[in-house]
């Protein structure tokens, strides 16, 4: 599913991961049954490679980690949230192209 450039987070690792870096963190909230999530996964992976060292990229499976979804008010997937210094700075819901995703990231670098 995810390559080595994408961190797969859980409820146990989510907060510590976000708090462990000054680098922006892009989190992809997804589920295995979600068609748009499956289409969006390769886009997220491409962006993770392109922005390696500038942005950390992580994935959260909403079925396996429901509390994170509730805490961050994720009600539709795919949702991406960009965090800086452990604070949400931008959110986008639904499939995005690679260029759309890059524009979101570039605003916060």
Altogether, the residues listed in the chain come to a count of 109
Nearest by Cα to 13 from 23, 27, 2: 27
Tell me which long-range contacts 16-20 makes (C-beta under 8 A, separation of at least 24). Answer: 17/56, 17/58, 18/83, 18/86, 19/86
The residues assigned a catalytic role are 34, 37
Q: Please count the CA atoms within 13 angstroms of the CA of 2 that sit on its side-chain side.
A: 21
6 DSSP 8-state letter: E
């Amino acid at each position: 599913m995810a390559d080595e450039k994408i961190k797969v987070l859980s409820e146990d690792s989510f907060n510590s991961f976000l708090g462990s870096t000054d680098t922006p963190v892009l989190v992809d909230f997804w589920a295995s049954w979600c068609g748009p999530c499956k289409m969006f996964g390769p886009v997220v992976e491409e962006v993770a490679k392109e922005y390696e060292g500038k942005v950390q990229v992580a994935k959260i499976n909403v079925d396996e980690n429901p509390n994170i979804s509730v805490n961050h008010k994720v009600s539709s997937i795919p949702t991406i949230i960009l965090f800086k210094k452990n604070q949400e700075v931008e959110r986008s819901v639904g499939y995005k192209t690679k260029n759309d995703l890059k524009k979101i990231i570039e605003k916060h670098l």
